Structure 1
Amino acid sequence: MIKWFAALLGFMYFRFAGAILGFIIGSLLDNYIRSSGGLMEGMFGEQKKNTVSPGDFELNLLSLCALVIKADGQVSQRELDYVRSYFVSSYGKERANATFRTFNDVIKNRELSSARIGQYLAQRTKYPTRLQITHFLFGIAQADGTVSEAETRIIQEIAGYLRISRMDFESIKAMFFKKTAESAYKILEIDKTATDAEVKKAFRTMAKKYHPDKLGHMDEAYRKGAQEKFQKVQEAYEQIQKERGM
Structure 2
Amino acid sequence: MDNDSLMNHWTDSLIESAWKTNPSEQPIPEEEVSYLGLLVFLIPLIVFTLYYIYLRSKHKHKIIEWVDRKFPSSFSEFSFREIQTVLAVAMIKRDRHLFMAKRSRIHQFISNNYNGKKLDVDEIIDFFLDGKIPLVDLMEWCNEFAAYEQKLQTFSFLAEIALIDNELIDKEREYLLFVIRKFEIRNQDIPEILQDHLFESSRKKVSAPKVRFYSCFEILELNESASAKEIKEAHRRLVKKYHPDSQPHLSPDEKKQLAERFQQVQEAYNELMSV
TM range (shorter): 0.3 to 0.5
TM-score by length of 1: 0.45
Query: What is the TM-score when the length of structure 2 is the normalising length?
Result: 0.41
